[in-house]
Structure 1
Amino acid sequence: MGKNRPIRVLHVCTIFLTAQTFIAPVLRYLSRHGYEAAVACSQESAADGPVSSGSRDIEGCKVFSVAIPRTIRPFQDLLAIRRLCQVIREFKPDVIHTQTSKAGIVGRLAARLAGVPVIIHTAHAFPFHAYLPWPVQWAYIWIERWVASWTDLLMVDTESVRMDGVRQRIVQDASRIVTVPMGVDLMRFSPSLGGPGTLRDALGLGRQALVVGTVARLVPDKGLECFLRMAAIIRAERADVKFLIVGEGPLRQSLEQMAESIGIGPDVAFAGHRTDIPEMMQAMDLFVLPTRREGFGVVFAEAMAMEKATVGSDIGPIAEVLEDGVTGYLAPADDPKVFAARALELLRDESKRRTFGTAGRCRVERLFSQSRMCESIEGHYRRLLAQKGIVL
């Protein structure tokens, strides 16, 4: 059947930072293409960084306040489901699209109870990680199968995550789990930005040094201890190299102490949470992140869009973004010696850095643009709505 009003899409996530960083481009795209788009999330900031402004608004979209706890809290979870049902009754969405594990469970349950026609979830990574005890893994697998049973479509960022879902039979029909890579704003992340000299001065890096940098939340999964050990190895050979860590998180103090204890404190700049990520990347000569776990690795795509050579962990999602030997190098996670060797090779060879950087930009333009991501997501909305007899 047709509708005499625009199709309405409600995204659900835990915190506004997620909505602002990852969902807002999709919401704005939908609004420009005739949809009514909204997001439901907590109004609180994340512990690892505030939103980029004091405003809790997204241009052209409604923002509903729903307190969804990030950890398991049965009473608060029930309140969140109740509040989401109220939002659904008010907004009357045709599609609910949830993101992050906890919001995925709470949001899909509310959508199921409220009878929303199309239910979609994006799993940036599944929670049943191999390092967890088997009973915990199986509990997560069972929960994912349960909520997936009344989900019309699962979206994932990479083929490796999709295969995790297929192997664990999260969905019975493999066609109900599709890969939609995250996208980069190619206008914002552009190598045509001005020179980095002034910013380097402000960060205490100097204009003559080579800068190895990273952008990450300061949490254990990001492998920043490995980054610092790599930095110490590089500094032992090259006194002209400085290091830049952009991001905030609970490990900030311990990482600063570690840098001092291994003798590289004066050579490492901790920039904290920043909103000018493209400019920070422009100040780098090489981007390195020894992450242990990643759903997609959008920060690598952003660095590649800035024409930066990259070195990343040889894990499934990163290997789908970074092309080894073409746009950068892969190295074993938690191996600072190999990371240092790869970084030193690129620091010695400016021509190779430029070649890798140019290839990286081309790869992002071809595979990981924001426009490509938004078009793919909207295409799935249209297909699923048509299956339910709802057309634009």
Structure 2
Amino acid sequence: MINVMFMQSQSFYGADSELHAQLLRYMDRSQVSLSVALTQALRETPEISAKLYFEKIPGIVVRPTEFGRSREDMRGAGDYAANLVRTFGGLLGLAGFIRAHRIQVIHGTEKPRDAFYGTLLAKLTGARSVVHMHVSYGDWLASNVKWALRNADAIIAVSPFSAKSIVDAGFAAGKVHTVLNSLDLASQRWNSRSTAREVRASLGIPEGAVVMGVVSRLFLYKGHRDLLDALARVKDQMPDYRLVIVGEDDPRAHPGGGSFTEELKTQAAELGISQNIIFTGFRTDIPQLMESFDMYTMPSWEEPFGMVYIEAMALNKPVVAWRQAGPEEIVVDGETGFLPAPKDIEALGTCILQLAQSAELRAQFGRAGRQRVEDYFSSKRMCADVVSIYQSIVGRP
């Protein structure tokens, strides 16, 4: 039995939190004993508060933890001083918990407080540390995250593309492990429902229109610009369609650039396709929105994995993305969707047009996509892969 503690310092329940919740929910209890150091901070929108999700997971020990505030939330020297005191007290108490419960592995994301505090606590208590990288390595990573990666006992990458970026940055290949993400198909969130007509009506989409969608934070590398350019290339051949763009601006990824949403609206107007584009802004009803799509179209650039692709496939949606990075691990070109060559805008438009013109092809790809998610992206497989890494770093078979 290996005693494992997860770090959940961020209050937002994002894709990385969902994956770690899956691990906590489905790992074999005959092999691991599980706990989570859990932030007590709540988001203004309860539906996206990590605390509320992790507290509902059965069979784990929840250790309420003061992680301090993130750097973006602090203003002035007084805030920093008070935060330092709170954080020191929280970590001191957590170190006592680790020793009392004989924690052997501390598992966190690449988020700075997860990675740095988790690795530091492992060093202080004699535990092993795992940093689970849900992004690719880049110079933009905080210095304390880079320190954590250098000192971690294992680094988990979510795709071969991500793993290569870590090894290429100089980290020992022997401690970098690839574990593909999974989707919790036991949850009703990602099983088909009959809400498409109602959602389309709420968005003002006419009956019979072909609906494509993209769900992401709004910034350059998610490929919205390429998508709009591709649609403009084929607009005269397309049946009536709507592109639903779900998400809000991410100023951190578009610094000093103003509103990326407004840039996209301007681009659509210049291309003469504004009437076909719908911007929803931030939404929490993502599965319902995705159920209303006929296809999922996100030609993002160097996506480390792309959970949203397997979410779309689970809902029987064909996928169109660039043939590189994470999507290559997920989408089978010509079977579950299309993967045109990166930056080939004409090919991207042709792929979208081919799907838009054939409901039969969309249904065929959609069925194959759902089957692929069931076969290759199960929680059971992901959990087994992670447990084998734990066993390797604590020296147990």
TM-score range, shorter chain: 0.7 to 0.9
- 1:296-353: CA deviation from partner (whole Å, max 9, x where unpaired): 1111111111111111012222111111122111124444332111100111222222
CA 1:190/1:150 → structure 2, altered by over 3 Å: closer, same or farther? closer
Amino acid across the alignment from 1:111: L
1:120 aligns with 2:123: no
Q: Name the CA distance, whole Å, in 2 between partners of 1:24 and 1:354.
A: 31
1:278 aligns with 2:287: yes
Helix, strand or coil at the partner of 1:237 = coil
Q: Name the CA distance, whole Å, in 1 between partners of 2:184 and 2:314.
A: 9
Match of 2:164 in 1: 163
Match of 1:186 in 2: 185
What aligned pairs does 1:247-286 form with structure 2 within 5 A after superposition?
247-250=247-250, 251-286=260-295
Helix, strand or coil at the partner of 1:120 = strand
| Conserved? CA contact 2:190–2:311, under 8 Å | no
Displacement of 1:55: 7.5
TM-score normalized with structure 1 length: 0.81
Match of 2:23 in 1: 26
CA 1:15/1:313 → structure 2, altered by over 3 Å: closer, same or farther? farther
- 1:161-217: CA deviation from partner (whole Å, max 9, x where unpaired): 22233333312xx33211111111224354531151111101111221010111111
Amino acid across the alignment from 1:336: I
Q: Name the CA distance, whole Å, in 2 between partners of 1:182 and 1:356.
A: 21
Match of 2:238 in 1: 238
Q: Name the CA distance, whole Å, in 2 between partners of 1:52 and 1:72.
A: 21
Displacement of 1:226: 1.7
Which of 330, 343, 348 is the equivalent residue of 1:339? 348
Match of 2:36 in 1: 38
Displacement of 1:56: 3.3
Helix, strand or coil at the partner of 1:56 = helix
| Conserved? CA contact 1:17–1:51, under 8 Å | no
| Conserved? CA contact 1:84–1:107, under 8 Å | no
Q: Name the CA distance, whole Å, in 1 between partners of 2:48 and 2:168.
A: 41
Match of 1:154 in 2: 155
Displacement of 1:53: 4.7
Match of 1:131 in 2: none
What aligned pairs does 1:377-392 form with structure 2 within 5 A after superposition?
377-387=386-396
Displacement of 1:20: 4.4
Match of 1:132 in 2: none
Q: Name the CA distance, whole Å, in 1 between partners of 2:275 and 2:149.
A: 50
Of all paired residues, the percent bearing the same amino acid is 24
Q: Name the CA distance, whole Å, in 1 between partners of 2:174 and 2:90.
A: 28
Q: Name the CA distance, whole Å, in 1 between partners of 2:111 and 2:379.
A: 23
| Conserved? CA contact 2:210–2:240, under 8 Å | yes
CA 1:115/1:29 → structure 2, altered by over 3 Å: closer, same or farther? same
CA 1:236/1:44 → structure 2, altered by over 3 Å: closer, same or farther? farther
Displacement of 1:14: 4.0
Give structure 2 stretches of 5+ with no counterpart: 251-259
Q: Name the CA distance, whole Å, in 2 between partners of 1:363 and 1:190.
A: 14
Amino acid across the alignment from 1:218: L
| Conserved? CA contact 1:16–1:51, under 8 Å | no
Which of 316, 328, 339 is the equivalent residue of 1:319? 328
Give structure 1 stretches of 5+ with no counterpart: 129-135
Select between 75-84 and 232-241 the one with higher mean Cα deviation: 75-84
CA 1:334/1:41 → structure 2, altered by over 3 Å: closer, same or farther? farther
Helix, strand or coil at the partner of 2:283 = coil
Q: Name the CA distance, whole Å, in 2 between partners of 1:42 and 1:334.
A: 43
